């Protein structure tokens, strides 16, 4: 689960990095990719999207059949997709967004069942 990496030692990963780190083995993500992903935290992902959401979409980019379902479920719980809208409307905490993205990835991808 990604929460064990979110803002915790030793890496103090942001939302996007926590998702990448949690699924590192299953998706063959390198440490360099996790470090590079740091630029997507704090609303800096494409379109201002939530970093946890953005990271999950990146992991699913080769699985188009899952992208729409992931987005539907994520937005159903978060109400919004952009970091600004989520924070402005107090719809869900960053911690819970990391949990949500991680849980949805586990549900939708059979490879991640060990996480």
Peptide bond into 10 cis (omega under 30): yes
pLDDT number for residue 91: 79
Domain-wise residue ranges, the chain: 2-114
End-to-end CA distance of the chain: 6
Do 100 and 52 meet the contact criterion of CB atoms below 8 Å apart?
yes
Report pLDDT digits (tens) over 12-70: 999 999 999 999 999 999 999 999 999 999 889 999 999 999 999 999 999 999 999 99
pLDDT number for residue 114: 42
Q: How far apart, in whole angstroms, are the C-alpha atoms of residue 31 and residue 50?
A: 21
pLDDT of 115 over the 90 cut:
no
3-state SS, residue 30: coil
pLDDT number for residue 111: 58
Tokens (6 digits) for 89: 């409307």
């Amino acid at each position: 689960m990604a929460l064990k990496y979110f803002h915790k030692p030793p890496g103090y990963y942001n939302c996007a990095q926590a998702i990448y780190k949690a699924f590192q083995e299953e998706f063959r993500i390198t440490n360099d990719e996790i470090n590079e992903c740091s630029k997507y935290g704090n609303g800096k992902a494409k379109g201002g999207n939530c970093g946890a959401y953005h990271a999950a979409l990146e992991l699913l980019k080769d699985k188009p059949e899952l992208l729409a379902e992931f987005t539907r479920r994520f937005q159903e719980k978060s109400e919004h997709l952009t970091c600004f809208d989520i924070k402005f409307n107090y719809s869900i905490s960053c911690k819970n967004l990391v949990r949500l993205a991680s849980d949805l990835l586990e549900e939708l991808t059979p490879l991640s069942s060990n996480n």
